[in-house]
């Protein structure tokens, strides 16, 4: 890469591993509950209005002082991913406190899926809650 502009196609899509899994489960007729965070910005608005028709949005926090997690994926002419640049700082804001607020929902769940971008402390806390409530395993 030498700084030149190259002709190509640009598309915007809702994503995030957790959101994608929850959306797929919703399309299959389940009732997924997504615990996440988005910024109070255009990408956050896009996620909240355009990409979560199958999800309960009550677990998604809108944060004013951080941008929504975004990434740019550069693909070659065949669609093969060459590299990804991501702004994922918002994951640091999904904390034990946010997870704890939804302990009852977690306890009533038959499955919990965790995004590996969360802090180790948040992941461990979520796993402890799952173990406490035998999720999965009901």
pLDDT, tens only, 38-66: 999 999 999 998 877 888 889 999 999 99
In a domain, 82, yes or no: yes
Report how many domains make up the chain: 1
Residue 53: which domain range? Answer: 17-132
Computed on alpha carbons and rounded to an integer, the radius of gyration of the chain in Å comes to 17
In a domain, 45, yes or no: yes
- What value does the mean pLDDT take over residues 17-30? 90
Query: Between 90 and 138, where is the model more confident?
Result: 90
In a domain, 8, yes or no: no
- What value does the mean pLDDT take over residues 23-28? 91
Query: Domain of 106: which CATH number?
Result: 3.40.1190.20
In a domain, 10, yes or no: no
pTM: 0.85
In a domain, 52, yes or no: yes
- What value does the mean pLDDT take over residues 61-89? 94
In a domain, 104, yes or no: yes
């Amino acid at each position: 890469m030498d700084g030149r502009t190259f002709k190509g196609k640009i598309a915007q899509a809702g994503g995030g591993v957790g959101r994608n899994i929850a959306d797929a489960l919703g399309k299959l007729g389940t009732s997924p509950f997504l615990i996440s965070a988005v910024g109070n910005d255009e990408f956050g608005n896009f996620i909240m209005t355009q990409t979560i028709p199958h999800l309960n949005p009550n677990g998604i926090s809108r944060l004013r002082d951080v941008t929504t997690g975004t990434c740019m994926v550069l693909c070659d002419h065949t669609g093969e991913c060459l590299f990804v640049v991501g702004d994922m700082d918002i994951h640091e804001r999904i904390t034990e406190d946010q997870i704890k607020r939804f302990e009852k929902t977690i306890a009533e769940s038959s499955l919990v899926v965790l995004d590996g971008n969360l802090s180790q402390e948040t992941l461990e806390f979520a796993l402890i809650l799952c173990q406490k409530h035998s999720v999965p395993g009901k």
